[in-house]
C-alpha cells in the first residue's frame, strides 16, 4: 500500500464515521492530517509520515538487543511506513528486530 493510499484510507474511514479530518501540515510533517473524533476528548487523532529522526526515536529501544543481520532483500522489498522504518534500522546497522541473536 502506498503512503498516498494509506492516507486516503485514513481520511475516508474517519469521514464514514461522520468525523471531519483536516490537513494540519507542519514543517517536519507536511503530509500530516488531524481529526478531532470526539469534540469533548482532550486527544486528537493524527495521521502522519514519520521522519527518519522519528523512526529512529520510535525504535531506539531495539538498538540494545542482539539481532541477526538484515535480510538481503529488506531494502529492495520494503513497502509501507513500518517496512521502511525497519529497512532504515538495517541501514543504521541495528539489525533486523526479532530475528534472533547475532551471537
Q: What is the predicted pLDDT for the residue at 57?
A: 85
Whether the model pTM is above 0.85: no
* pLDDT of 75: 47
- What is the structure's pLDDT at 18? 94
Q: E strands along 2-75, which residues?
A: 22-23, 33-35, 45-47
* Rounded mean pLDDT, 18-34: 91
Answer yes or no: are the C-beta atoms of 91 and 75 closer than 8 Å. Answer: yes
In a 13 Å sphere around the CA of 26, the CA atoms on its Cβ side amount to 11
With 70 as the cut, is the pLDDT of residue 78 above it? no
Question: Any idea where the domains of the chain sit in the sequence?
Answer: 1-49, 51-103
Question: For residue 4, what pLDDT is reported?
Answer: 86
Amino acid at each position: 500500500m502506498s503512503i498516498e493510499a494509506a492516507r486516503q484510507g485514513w481520511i475516508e474511514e474517519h469521514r464514514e464515521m461522520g468525523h471531519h479530518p483536516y490537513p494540519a501540515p507542519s514543517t517536519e510533517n507536511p503530509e500530516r492530517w488531524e481529526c478531532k473524533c470526539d469534540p469533548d476528548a482532550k486527544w486528537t487523532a493524527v495521521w502522519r509520515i514519520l521522519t527518519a529522526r522519528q523512526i529512529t526515536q520510535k525504535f531506539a529501544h531495539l538498538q540494545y538487543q542482539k539481532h541477526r543481520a538484515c535480510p538481503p532483500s529488506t531494502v529492495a522489498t520494503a513497502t509501507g511506513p513500518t517496512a521502511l522504518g525497519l529497512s532504515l534500522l538495517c541501514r543504521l546497522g541495528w539489525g533486523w528486530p526479532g530475528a534472533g541473536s547475532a551471537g
